Amino acid sequence: MNFKSVKDMPPIGFGVWKIVPDACEQTVVEAIRCGYRHFDAACDYGNEAAVGRGIQRAIAEELCTREELWITSKLWNTYHAAEHVPAALERTLNDLGLDYLDLYLIHFPIALDYVPFEKRYPPEWVHDPDAPAPSMKLAKVPLSETWLAMEALKESGVARHIGVCNYNSGLLHDLMNYSNIPPEVLQIEAHPYLVQDKLIRLAKDYGLEVTAFSPLGSLSYVELDMADQDESILEQANVKAIAARIGCTAAQVLLRWGVQRGTSVVAKSTNPERMLQNLTAQDIELTTEDMTAISALNRNRRYNDPGVFCEAAFNSFHPIYD
Ligand code: A2P
């Protein structure tokens, strides 16, 4: 086995959120050809079958072997009940064409009412999309029930490692109290505008590896109307100055900052040049002063916040971090 533990997870992963299924197979093949070995997928991204075709094609073309790939996916909110957790993973594995995942994560600490596969897949956030004002319907499933079902997946080997996303420190403390098998990875939004120092330190104190999503900050959210064009961290004068001094791009500086502070990062690009640029960010080195200056950009700006987008998009007020 290539990966002995979560510490071997390749530090720069390729995220597939928002890649349209039609482009996804080819994008995944290109990313593997370019050198990516870590892919971050999810049921909710609606493109796992296409990701799977890309993986299978790359293996058939001998660009890599299955064992050389680290594949992460995430349990969607509608499958939190113990009886739905293994079926959700099975569906994901079938779509990806794999017989095990390297990492399976609880996507959000939010349990929604069950939606059968044949009714809608992926079920997304609202219970009845055809209702006059579609809204979320919560399910009374404690996170402890979901976690114990995740543990069974690790025990049976279909998920080599298990973890959580979008947990705050309170949920993490609690999880450490009831878990028999502790979580191995915490995936959270983290970038220089949302450094999350305390949460990352706590997770590491508990022995978890941390993965940062949206490591480039606002870029992903402009097209979703969740961020303004003019709040790009790439345009920050001192990030640009560091990039100019080193002879790299501002995006590489941000990704390297994420890796150098001890997190793995997952970024998406469908542009071949940016794809390669992002992967090679692991080769640059920032000084202690650079690291400090970039961290000082923190403004606790969270782009992916259910406390905001659930109300705006799904008529449901559902904060989880406040
Ligand atoms: P593109 O696919 O056109 O390159 P996320 O934070 O969700 O991973 O999304 C990354 C966003 O930033 C995407 O919109 C992507 O667009 C863009 N992006 C990715 N890499 C770079 C880069 N090196 N420089 C500038 N923009 C980038």
pLDDT in tens, 124-170: 999 999 999 999 999 999 999 999 999 999 999 999 999 999 999 99
CA of 227 to the centre of ligand 1 (A): 14
Q: Average pLDDT, stretch 33-59?
A: 98
224 part of a folded domain: yes
Residue 27 Cβ inside 6 Å of ligand 1? The answer reads: no
Check residues 24 and 230 and name the one with the higher pLDDT. 24
Residue 74 has pLDDT above 90, yes or no: yes
pLDDT at 18: 95
321 part of a folded domain: no
| Backbone CA torsion sign across 68, 269, 320, 200 | positive
CA of 268 to the centre of ligand 1 (A): 6
155 part of a folded domain: yes
320 part of a folded domain: no
pLDDT in tens, 202-223: 999 999 999 999 999 999 899 9
322 part of a folded domain: no
Confidence of residue 80 (pLDDT cuts 50, 70, 90): very high
pLDDT at 1: 59
Residue 50 tokens, joined:
């296409």
28 part of a folded domain: yes
Residue 9 has pLDDT above 90, yes or no: yes
Cα–Cα distance, 157 to 16 (Å, whole number) = 24
pLDDT at 2: 82
Cα–Cα distance, 96 to 54 (Å, whole number) = 9
Residue 270 Cβ inside 6 Å of ligand 1? The answer reads: yes
Domain total for the chain? 1
Cα–Cα distance, 106 to 43 (Å, whole number) = 11
CA of 274 to the centre of ligand 1 (A): 7
Residue 172 has pLDDT above 90, yes or no: yes
CA of 267 to the centre of ligand 1 (A): 7
Domain span including residue 296: 9-313
Percent of the chain whose pLDDT exceeds 70: 100
Residue 17 Cβ inside 6 Å of ligand 1? The answer reads: yes
The atom of ligand 1 lying closest to the CA of 17 is 7
The atom of ligand 1 lying closest to the CA of 269 is 2
2 part of a folded domain: no
Q: Which residues contact 166 (CB under 8 A, 6 or more apart)?
A: 107, 108, 109, 187, 188, 189, 304, 306, 320
Residue whose C-alpha is closest to residue 10's, from 206, 277, 281? 281
pLDDT at 31: 98
CA of 271 to the centre of ligand 1 (A): 8
Residue 277 Cβ inside 6 Å of ligand 1? The answer reads: yes
Residue 314 has pLDDT above 70, yes or no: yes
pLDDT at 278: 98
Q: Nearest C-alpha to atom 13 of ligand 1 is from which residue? A: 220
Query: ∠ CA(109), CA(114), CA(120), 5° rounding?
Result: 110
Residue 267 Cβ inside 6 Å of ligand 1? The answer reads: yes
Q: Average pLDDT, stretch 44-61?
A: 98
pLDDT at 59: 98
Q: Which CATH number do you get for residue 72? A: 3.20.20.100
Residue 177 has pLDDT above 90, yes or no: yes
> Parallel, antiparallel, or unpaired: how do β-strands 12-15 and 162-165 relate?
unpaired
Q: Which residues are catalytic?
A: 45
Q: Average pLDDT, stretch 53-74?
A: 98
| Backbone CA torsion sign across 190, 196, 200, 203 | negative
pLDDT in tens, 245-297: 999 999 999 999 999 999 999 999 999 999 999 999 999 999 999 999 999 99
Cβ neighbourhood burial of 241 (10 Å; 0-12, 13-18, 19+)? middle
209 part of a folded domain: yes
The atom of ligand 1 lying closest to the CA of 249 is 23
Q: What is the mean pLDDT of the chain?
A: 97
